Amino acid sequence: MTDTDQPSDSASKPVLTARELAYQVLEQYRDSYQFVSALCEELSRDKTISPEDYRLAVELTHGIVRRKLTLEAVILAHVNRPKENIEPGLWTLLELGVYQLVFLDQVPHHAAVHETVELCKKNGQSRSAGFINGVLRGVTRSLTSDYTESPGQDTVPISPQRYLKLKLNVFPDQESQPAEFFSSAFSFPKWLIKRWRTRFNDTELLDLCFWFNAAPATWLRVNRLKGKPDELARQLVDAGKTVETGPFPDSLFVERAGRIDLLPGFEEGLFCVQDLTAMHASVMLAPKPGETILDLCSAPGTKTTHIAELMNDTGTVIATDSKKERLAKVDENCQRLGLKCIETIPILPSGEDIPAGPFDAVLLDVPCSNTGVLGKRPEARWRLKPEDIVEFSQLQLRLLHTAIYELKPGGRLVYSTCSIEPEENQLVIADILKQHPSLKLVEEEAYDPGDPADGGYQALLVKQA
């Protein structure tokens, strides 16, 4: 099925537009704090929506969650009341309209305003349509068609060296209030910006913010047990996709992938979505056919299934997680990919009841702050709190202690995070090496976000006899 095909029963399903889906997702996200990707899929499942509209809804929802402080600054410069005096549903409409006006070149201004006002009326908020129309038209008058390469109080960061000029100042001054400026203009919690400014200069921080605010790239890991990259690439190209080969033998980059479950080969288990940095964790572990391997924090199973594929689906992979519903996703991925050597086992959050070893190798992809993947997970920057990093590092150290005791002499352990915080990476490994003299650090890699994929950290440890 190509991404232009529609299910045969689509005529009987309610028709949903991009803006309607985006509004529903954002409203439910605000109330439930669920992941917007999952909400997009869930709320469109029993509806008829074109692939183009679905892609636009995904861009709107992800972009608005990422850039909520940027949008807030622009909106508040055009209203005469504080945010708390604006109904939440109306604020969502303003975010939808302003995001289109500022960030979507392909949407004409008049269409962005008109469609948002019509959505307001359709939602039963006709009495507020004039307010929405007035604010959006005010923003339209403040926009220019000029772009500059430098940040400023009157420029909205769009992409590297591309800032949209406004006719008024909406952001704090970068020189006198640097943390406030980066927080507002690029839409990150101020405490996180302050933290990063102790390690990164302004140029590096700009690069970091732009990477996290861009739409994430889609990398596929081809299931080597079911096919070859060039064969899948041909199917994707035939379906109208632009495809490039990646640095790993089984990796493919797909531009504007759209809904993953509609890509050729998905139902047949020909591939799994996985970032290049994440792929490297299993490659570093170097699993061999016939080995017994523990994946301690396995859900949703992307790295677990990679390990099994590298083992040619022979041997045993024990996949554990503290949440049974997340382990169900591992089983689902195994079934789709046709893998038989993976056994899923639920464990306690403390990890004290993990299956007994000894294991030839252990993958410990620990819970972390996710600061290396804030672009892929737009909600993560707003969920994270300063104290979480300390709590994560303590949990990570406890899990390491637990895993080491189940590793056989000469066995390998890969410690992996999608964080760029030293407290969760190098400092955890330094601590464990002090406490376990039998461990040897063989290799470690710290990945900067955008160079060329997600940020993160991986360390290969060997337990000496």
Distances (CA, A) of 132 to 30, 80, 189, 459: 20, 13, 27, 52
What span, in angstroms and rounded, lies between the C-alpha atoms of 337 and 332? 9
Tokens for 206, please give them. 């700009």
Quick count: other Cβ atoms within 10 Å of Cβ 79?
17
| Catalytic entry in 40, 297, 341, 418 | 418
Our answer to whether residue 418 is catalytic in this structure is yes
b (16+ CB within 10 A) / e for 268-297: ebbbbebbbbbbbbbbbbebeeebbbbbbb
Edge-first strand listing for the sheet containing 155-159: 143-148, 162-166, 155-159
Tokens for 8, please give them. 């045969």
Residue count (the chain): 465
3 state SS for the chain: CCCCCCCCCHHHCCECCHHHHHHHHHHHHHHHCCCHHHHHHHHHCCCECCHHHHHHHHHHHHHHHHCHHHHHHHHHCCCCCCHHHCCHHHHHHHHHHHHHHHHCCCCCHHHHHHHHHHHHHHCCCHHHHHHHHHHHHHHHHHEEEEEECCCCCCEEEEECCEEEEECCCCCCCCCCCHHHHHHHHHCCCHHHHHHHHCCCCHHHHHHHHHHHHCCCCEEEEECCCCCCHHHHHHHHHHCCCEEEECCCCCEEEEECCCCHHHCCCCCCCCEEECCHHHHHHHHHHCCCCCCEEEECCCCCCHHHHHHHHHCCCCCEEEEEECCHHHHHHHHHHHHHHCCCCEEEEECCCCCCCCCCCCEEEEEEECCCCCCCCCCCCCCHHHHCCHHHHHHHHHHHHHHHHHHHHCEEEEEEEEEEECCCCHHHCHHHHHHHHHHCCCEEEEEEEEECCCCCCCCEEEEEEEECC
The residues annotated with a catalytic role in the active site are 418
